[in-house]
Structure 1
Amino acid sequence: MSRKIKLLWDFRGEDAKETAKHHTIHLKEFAELEKLNFHEIDIIEQNPMLCAAFITVDEKDMKIYRDALKPQRGEIA
């Protein structure tokens, strides 16, 4: 069974949540345009001033996403 990797983009400030939500739209568009698989796209709200958009992908596809989209960090999901 392949590992899953969560790639994350952090957004800070008063509009962090709305910006993160908007970023998820672009993550989904990219995956569909490139015909790449993903498991989940969503946001994590740490607090009202810090949110992260993320996409969870199979480890085999991680480099494609990483190189094209430049996430700020990643973790094993």
Structure 2
Amino acid sequence: MLIRPPCFGHGLLMGGGLLMNGLAWLVRGWRAWRRRRYELGLLASMDAAQLRDIGVTRADALEELARPWWRRNTRG
């Protein structure tokens, strides 16, 4: 009779399981949020010449800054 040892590579245990995937998802989300906040701060601090250099109007910049965070990845 073959007895298999318990498997610790799935479920809520370490080794690529649900807990680790969930933590990785949270870390990625947190990093994306920090990056967006940083980029929006840069956009808010740009003067007219800098905006013109990147091809963005002041109205476009203000629209992007006013967009709610849950609509940041959509256009229109």
TM-score range for the pair, normalised by the shorter chain length: 0.3 to 0.5
TM-score by length of 1: 0.33
Higher RCO (CA-CA < 8 Å; seq separation 6+)? 1
Q: Greater CA radius of gyration, 1 or 2?
A: 2
Higher helix proportion: 2
Higher strand proportion: 1
TM-score by length of 2: 0.34
